[in-house]
Amino acid sequence: MTLLVITFLISCLSVMAARGKRGIWPAGMPVARPRLVAAGGTYEGTRGHPSDTYVVQERLIAAAGGTNGTPHGHSAAALALSAVIAARPQYGKTREQDLDACAQAAHRAVRRAALRTPAVSGLVSTLDLIILDRGESPCLRFAHVGDGAIWHCSRGRPPRLLTSPHSLDNGPLLRGIGLASTLTPELGMVPLRPGDRVVLVTAGVTRALGEDRLAELLTLGASPAACLDRLYDELAAAEPKDDATAVIADVVTA
């Protein structure tokens, strides 16, 4: 009798295991899904005026840097990111054009603050934003305004710069969050695989290290935190004048 019961239970377990893999996944059970595991930080520049800020969520990462070298630069960056968070772009549609509305919301927030307060009329910020879209073919949507940068490090390939700086020879911004001109953000989309790395940096990082050295550093370190440590070591040696912010994220399934 005992042998019959054990045999019956084993057969039931085999059926449940097969259904769990091939049938509908039971409610409440964990499901493997892509997400971003990130490490970020701001290396303070020697100018003494904080300018950069960033936010990291499960599928959204954004970095902003206030410009014009004024004490109000950080306010512009904070306003831009507050508008991004309020827009919740990771929960909306999944076309690359849909991030335009998010960038425009940030633009309006900074412009309104500048118009209402004459003392901070020069509020301008950069913005780099990425969204991880899940699905059968995960992809990365991004929006870029200003002189920061977004990099994509696909496993086994050299790092690829996804964006172009909106300035000439480190001069004044041609596009910026809060500039009086009509905003036209740079938008894009790239496919992602587990193990890919995505990096957002403000202009202070690129100016201090240069694109070639930065590309070399982005593939070092087994984790985002280890890679960020290497970047900090080099920034310490370079002593950047402007704030230098980097957010390094790996695509994982969990």
Contacts of 233 (CB under 8 A, 6+ apart): none
Other beta carbons within 10 angstroms of residue 223's beta carbon come to 12
What are the boundaries of each domain within the chain?
A: 30-253
Cα 127 from Cα 173, distance rounded (Å): 12
Residue among 214, 245, 243, 248 nearest 228 (CA): 248
| Best CA proximity match to 52, nearest among 225, 190, 207, 229 | 207
Task: Report the Cα 25 to chain-centroid distance in Å.
Answer: 31
Neighbours of 210 (CB within 10 A): 12
Architecture of domain 30-253: 4-Layer Sandwich (3.60)
Q: How many residues does the chain have?
A: 254
> Tens place of pLDDT for every residue, the chain, 254 residues?
433 333 333 344 333 332 333 344 455 545 568 899 999 999 999 888 889 999 999 899 999 999 855 668 889 999 999 999 999 999 988 888 889 999 999 999 999 998 888 777 789 999 999 999 987 789 999 999 999 999 999 988 899 999 999 988 777 888 999 998 889 999 999 999 999 999 999 999 999 999 999 999 998 878 999 999 999 999 999 999 989 999 999 999 86
pLDDT, position 222:
85
pLDDT digit string, tens, across residues 230-252: 999 999 999 999 899 999 999 99
Nearest Cα to 152, choosing from 237, 53, 61? 61
